[in-house]
Amino acid sequence: MKITRSIKLFEEAQQLIPGGVNSPVRAFRSVGGHPRFIHRAKGSKLYDLDGNTYIDYVLSWGPMILGHASPPVIGAIKKAAGRGTSYGAPTELEVELARHIRTAVPSMEKIRLVSSGTEAVMSAIRVARGFTKRDGILKFEGCYHGHSDYLLAKAGSGMMTLGIPDSLGVPADFAKHTFTAPYNDIRTVQRLMRERGKHIACIIVEPIAGNMGVVPPAHDFLPALRQLTLENDSLLIFDEVISGFRVDYGGAQALYGITPDLTVLGKIIGGGLPVGAYGGRTEIMDLIAPTGPVYQAGTLSGNPLAVTAGLATLKQLRAKQLYKNLEERSAALAEGIGKEAQRAGIPIIQHRVGSMLTAFFASDPVVDWNSAKRSDTKRYGQFFHQMLDQGIYLAPSQFEAAFLSTAHTSADVERTIRAARVAFKSL
């Protein structure tokens, strides 16, 4: 596979941009080799600058659930662009997107739109602290909630991949209100809540962990978090930036039947443009300015182009059978990969919830960050490159989810399984 243009551009990029990339995991550091510079994308495919084609399972890290350049989304964006790209004044589109989100996720009675998942989480935590008048927050090791200061403690894939335990530049004072527990470990949460519950504003969790590779919640984990937060007058925040509109139209909370106090969305709701959202019970959300004293604002929040892309995406996602079809195709992929690994005698642990999945190169169960990180990342790197050379674009890290879109065909899945056979054999 010829990648001369990508290599050349990466050299220049490294002179101009730290590590040559605008988000660290794109640099391929944990798998080695050169990142591909993408020229265009369509459906399930990415096309790089050297003319190579890939079946894409990264999907911009989750947002492109309809595949790339989905005609209804692109059509809507083009139309919207002609009407101007930003006004700094309210639009009908924002109301419409909020209405769609609330219909899908009824626990989000009121919704504020922002421009990234990071911003949405940061704002949700601010309002949780304002509402409870407490400072402490409890998060889980291996869950990522964006790059804001006090959430970078034990924060999953990006930093785990680079082996950075905690970011430099975060004052210890900022992180001192952040408590962490292992994912799926109710006992530790019980103990922390017994000791500090009256100081904990909120427990924030990815209801399906996606940032240490996919790790589903144990069956009693989310109900226990709901119970413990209620008992301590703390709020429960579901960070559904990945799982929202991914595992179900109503997100993980619909799938598992647990109602959080606040929900954070991102990725899919922007349809490939920058949108984040947070929302929840009216009495909490009304604390936000201008109704209340919790300040949060954004020049480009509710941007008409971004909201249009999100709205066009959500409208498509209401189609009957869509999630069922995604489920079936994803199951077929996981089953095929599992068989090929077994045939080659390579131990893997596969996790899948709907169209998000991870194959850990591990032999023992993966339930939290500690067990996830025992995976053989060197072997993952070899597998990754074997797949890439055959035109299959997986995440350049063991600790990320693979995603399917509605544009992935059964032929794509079959080709991927055939490539996996070759890749597993070579290990």
Ligand X SMILES: *Cc1c(COP(=O)(O)O)cnc(C)c1O
Sketch the per residue contact string, 34 through 73, with ligand X: x for CB under 6 A, - otherwise: ----------------------------------------
Does residue 118 bind ligand X (CB under 6 A)?
Answer: yes
Identify which of residues 116 and 355 has a Cβ nearer to ligand X in the complex. 116
Among 10, 54, 144, 380, binds ligand X (CB under 6 A): 144
193 binds ligand X (CB under 6 A): no
**118 vs 234, beta carbon nearer ligand X:** 118
Q: Which of 261, 215, 196, 250 is nearest to 359 (CA)?
A: 215
Q: Does 399 bind ligand X (CB under 6 A)?
A: no
Question: Is residue 117 a contact point for ligand X (CB under 6 A)?
Answer: yes
Smallest distance from ligand X to CB 231, Å: 25
Shortest CB 157 distance to ligand X, Å: 9
Coil, helix or strand for 343?
Answer: helix
220 as an active site residue: the answer is no
Contact region with ligand X (CB under 6 A), list: 27-35, 110-118, 317-325, 411-419 = 110-118
Answer positive or negative: Cα dihedral of 211, 218, 334, 271: negative
- Residue 116 is a binding residue for ligand X (CB under 6 A): yes
- Single-letter residue type at 232: N
DSSP states of 60-78 as a string?
A: GGTT-TT-BT-HHHHHHHH
State the catalytic residue, choosing from 48, 54, 154, 239: 239
Residue 144 designated active-site: yes
**Count of residues interacting with ligand X (CB under 6 A):** 15
For 199-209, b where at least 16 C-beta lie within 10 A, e where not — what string? ebbbbbbbbbb
Strands 45-48 and 276-280: unpaired
Q: Which of 45, 139, 154, 267 is catalytic?
A: 267
Q: Does 265 bind ligand X (CB under 6 A)?
A: no
Give exposure, 372-384, as e/b (b: 16+ Cβ within 10 Å): bbebbbebbbbbb
249 is an active site residue: no
User: From CA 47, how far away is CA 70, in angstroms rounded?
Assistant: 16
Min separation Cβ 211 and ligand X, Å: 5
Residues pairing with 359 in the sheet: 350
Query: Is 213 among the residues that bind ligand X (CB under 6 A)?
Result: no
The answer for residues whose C-beta is within 8 angstroms of residue 227's C-beta and 6 or more apart is none
Stretch that binds ligand X, among 113-121, 195-203, 311-319, 406-414 (CB under 6 A): 113-121
E strands of 159-275, at which residues? 178-182, 200-205, 235-239, 262-265
Give how far the C-alpha of residue 280 lies from the chain's centroid of Cα atoms, to the nearest Å: 20
Structure tokens at 185: 């470990």
Compose the 325-344 pattern: x for residues touching ligand X by CB under 6 A, - for all others: --------------------
Q: Which is nearer to ligand X, 182 or 276 (CB)?
A: 276
Which residues are designated catalytic?
A: 144, 239, 267
Chain residues that interact with ligand X, rule: CB under 6 A = 116-118, 121, 144-146, 206, 210-211, 239, 241-242, 266, 276
